[in-house]
């Protein structure tokens, strides 16, 4: 690995752009699965900035944080997709977010 | 431009392009496939930031496990083409709101960068994020959160299995229906026998 030359700012801006794209995906899409994928994009954007700051200060705490974020993301996806499948089975066989408007049925 | 800058710009472009593809495809399977490319390009960016352990974890956990889960669920719930196009019709006020939020957030980032000139260049202290180094900090400084994640994963496992089971209300209903049908058939059989005897 050569001596670092890419400024930290570029990583920060890239992270912000990816986060914005993910947030727009959450707003735009009505398919719950794609909304989940957009949330993953946002989590990854935050992870990228955490790793960049970890690199900036020469400390590994940021990378430990990214490890925890990955764990939480995996748990979130497992439970969330289980919820989607349960809703798909019990309601009108759709994954449209607009159809999920009651807490109990 | 050094090799590192070339790698950064190449994979930053790939990451942004694939992120746009993920949120703009109508078919969720295409979104999932673009998501894989996006996650791999971010893994490469982790490597340029001296974090090889996180690169491996990203490839295994995200590109390996999470996207496979997505693809499985998309295949299980495969909805028709007309459903897809209907489901992705954007809501009227979302597009302007999204663009406004985007510009606001970019502005905030640019202002933050402008007022923080000290962090303009990456630091000279290079700490390689090898599995050894990350493991040491995880087990020394973050032991309690690390153990808490094991509880979290156990809870997620139990929750996912509970949610994913074949709904027992539905099964009970089916069982009850079958029992009723069997009862009715048996009754009809005995009645017909009685008629025969008579």
pLDDT above 90: percentage of residues in chain B: 29
Look at chain B and count its residues.
198
- Find the closest chain A residue to B50 by CA distance: A55
- Using DSSP's 3-state secondary structure scheme, residue A29 falls into coil
Name the CATH topology of B1-89.
1.20.120
What confidence tens digit (pLDDT) does each residue in B19-55 have? 999 988 888 888 999 999 999 999 999 998 888 999 9
Cα A45 to Cα A3, A6, A101, B23, B54: the distances in Å are 24, 18, 29, 14, 14
What confidence tens digit (pLDDT) does each residue in B136-181 have? 999 999 999 999 999 999 999 999 888 877 655 544 555 555 556 5
The two counts, helices (H) then strands (E), for chain A are 3, 0
Q: Which of B4, B20, B156 sits opposite A6 (nearest CB)?
A: B4
Answer whether 0.90 is exceeded by the pTM.
no
Domains and CATH numbers, chain A: 8-99 (1.10.287.3510)
CA angle B113, A38, B35 (to 5 degrees): 100
For chain B, give every domain's residue range. 1-89, 92-122, 171-198
* Distance in Å, alpha carbon of B144 to nearest chain A alpha carbon: 12
What are the DSSP calls for chain B, one per residue?
A: --HHHHHHHHHHHHHHHHHHHHHH-SSHHHHHHHHHHHHHHHHHHHHHTT-HHHHHHIIIIIIIIIHHHHHHHHHHT---HHHHHHHTPPPTTHHHHHHHHHHHHHHHHHHHHHT-GGGSS--S------HHHHHHHHHHTSHHHHHHHHHHHHHHHHHHHHHHS--HHHHHHHHHHHHHHHHHHHHHHHHHHHHHH-
pLDDT score of A3: 47
Please give the DSSP secondary-structure letter assigned to residue A96.
B
Q: Distance between CA B166 and CA B181 in Å, rounded?
A: 22
Q: How far apart are the first and last CA of chain A?
A: 56
Q: Distance between CA A43 and CA A18 in Å, rounded?
A: 9
Average pLDDT over chain A, rounded to an integer: 83
pLDDT score of B56: 92
pLDDT band at A64 (very low <50, low <70, confident <90, very high): very high
User: Tokens in use for B57?
Assistant: 């974890």
Q: Which of B86, B119, B125 sits opposite A58 (nearest CB)?
A: B125
In A, which residues are within 8 Å of B4 by CB distance? 1-2, 4-6
Q: What is the mean pLDDT of residues A22-47?
A: 89
Q: How far apart are the first and last CA of chain B?
A: 102
In B, which residues are within 8 Å of A34 by CB distance? 22-23, 25, 28, 31, 88
User: Tokens in use for B52?
Assistant: 């090889």
| Most distant CA atoms of chain A, gap in Å | 59
What confidence tens digit (pLDDT) does each residue in B102-143 have? 788 878 877 877 776 555 556 666 778 888 998 999 999 999
- Find the closest chain A residue to B71 by CA distance: A33
Phi, psi torsion values for B83, nearest 5 degrees: -60, -45
Is A37's Cβ below 8 Å from some Cβ in B? yes
């Amino acid at each position: 690995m050569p001596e670092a030359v890419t400024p930290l700012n570029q990583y920060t801006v890239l992270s912000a752009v990816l986060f914005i794209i993910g947030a727009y995906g959450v707003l735009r899409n009505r398919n719950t699965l794609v909304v989940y994928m957009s949330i993953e994009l946002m989590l990854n954007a935050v992870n990228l900035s955490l790793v960049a700051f970890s690199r900036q200060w020469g400390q590994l705490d940021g990378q430990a944080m990214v490890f925890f974020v990955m764990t939480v993301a995996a748990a979130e996806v497992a439970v969330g997709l289980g919820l989607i499948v349960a809703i798909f089975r019990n309601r009108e066989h759709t994954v449209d977010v607009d159809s999920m408007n009651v807490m109990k049925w | 431009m050094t090799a590192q800058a070339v790698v950064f710009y190449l994979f930053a472009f790939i990451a942004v392009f694939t992120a746009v593809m993920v949120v703009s495809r109508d078919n969720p399977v295409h979104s999932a496939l673009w998501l894989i490319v996006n996650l791999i390009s971010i893994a490469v960016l982790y490597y340029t930031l001296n974090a090889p352990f996180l690169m491996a974890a990203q490839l295994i956990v995200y590109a390996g496990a999470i996207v496979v889960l997505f693809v499985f669920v998309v295949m299980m719930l495969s909805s028709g083409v007309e459903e897809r196009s209907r489901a992705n019709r954007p809501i009227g006020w979302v597009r302007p709101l999204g663009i406004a939020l985007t510009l606001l957030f970019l502005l905030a980032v640019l202002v933050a960068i402008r007022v923080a000139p000290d962090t303009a260049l990456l630091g000279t202290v290079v700490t390689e994020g090898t599995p050894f180094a990350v493991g040491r900090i995880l087990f020394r400084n973050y032991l309690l959160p690390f153990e808490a994640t094991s509880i979290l994963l156990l809870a997620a496992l139990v929750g996912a299995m509970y949610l994913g089971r074949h709904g027992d209300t539905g099964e009970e209903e089916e069982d009850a229906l079958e029992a009723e049908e069997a009862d009715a058939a048996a009754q009809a059989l005995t009645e017909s026998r009685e008629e025969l005897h008579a």
